[in-house]
A = this chain, B = another copy of it.
């Protein structure tokens, strides 16, 4: 998952620093400084900076240095960027963006899944719906979270659309963040669990409209809860 080696470690310092606004737009990073500050060689600095360049977070220019680009240019779909932003200052904004994205994508994915899911997908969904019910009743937030992530991941995968499928980690990050920062009720709402069961059932019986509707209720609810809970 992570980038390997020293460039990866340097990236894990620079990325969050830029994402959090600690190094604001226009800041100039000079290679030599980075070498000394982090005690690494030119090679390492260059590779880390190249990766940031490929994420459009910085722009190296000769004679002037590597400048931090405006936030609007960043590759906001890059998993690393998402993670850095979730960890930093604009976590709220990132969560809201992701919430809207979920509202757009997950109902569509559920509808597609009701059409395309294979038998394995359906079995897995049913099993996860049961697990969700059980762990919710037991108020086992940790297991609930794990199964919730798995549930949404299966729906996204079963949609048969590779781009939807790749949002699974992103959705997982949102769900995790929500639980970690106590934006969740102390025990999952029975209504939400019921909706998950309904999604599973609709996908298993091949009912796209119902799957889409139930999923939309879930993600809209999550977004509203987010809006109500988040600061500013």
Which A positions have Cβ atoms within 8 angstroms of B? 3-4, 7, 43, 46-47, 50-51, 53-55, 60, 71-72, 75-80, 93, 96-98, 100-101, 103-105, 107-109, 112, 159, 161-166
Q: A75 contacts B163, CB within 8 Å?
A: no
Q: Is the interface of A mostly helix, strand, loop or mixed?
A: helix
A103 to chain B, nearest CB (A): 6
A142 to chain B, nearest CB (A): 27
Q: B162 contacts A72, CB within 8 Å?
A: yes
Q: B4 contacts A166, CB within 8 Å?
A: no
A223 to chain B, nearest CB (A): 11
For A93, the chain B residues whose CB sits under 8 A away are: 162
For A107, the chain B residues whose CB sits under 8 A away are: 104
Max chain B Cβ within 10 angstroms of own Cβ: one of A50, A93, A107? A50
State A163–B164 Cα separation when bound (angstroms).
14
Q: A78 contacts B78, CB within 8 Å?
A: yes
For A165, the chain B residues whose CB sits under 8 A away are: 72
Q: B54 contacts A166, CB within 8 Å?
A: no
Q: A163 contacts B54, CB within 8 Å?
A: no
A169 to chain B, nearest CB (A): 10
Among all A-B residue pairs, the 5 with the closest Cβ atoms: A104-B108, A77-B77, A47-B50, A97-B163, A51-B54
State A47–B165 Cα separation when bound (angstroms).
29
State A78–B75 Cα separation when bound (angstroms).
8
Q: Looking across the interface, which residue of chain B has its beta carbon closest to that of A53?
A: B3
Q: A53-B3, A54-B51 are in contact. Are A164 and B46 (CB under 8 A)?
A: no
For A4, the chain B residues whose CB sits under 8 A away are: 53, 60
For A108, the chain B residues whose CB sits under 8 A away are: 100, 103-104
Q: B100 contacts A163, CB within 8 Å?
A: yes
State A105–B109 Cα separation when bound (angstroms).
11
Q: A77 contacts B163, CB within 8 Å?
A: yes
For A101, the chain B residues whose CB sits under 8 A away are: 105, 161, 163-164
Q: B100 contacts A164, CB within 8 Å?
A: yes
A220 to chain B, nearest CB (A): 11
For A72, the chain B residues whose CB sits under 8 A away are: 162, 165
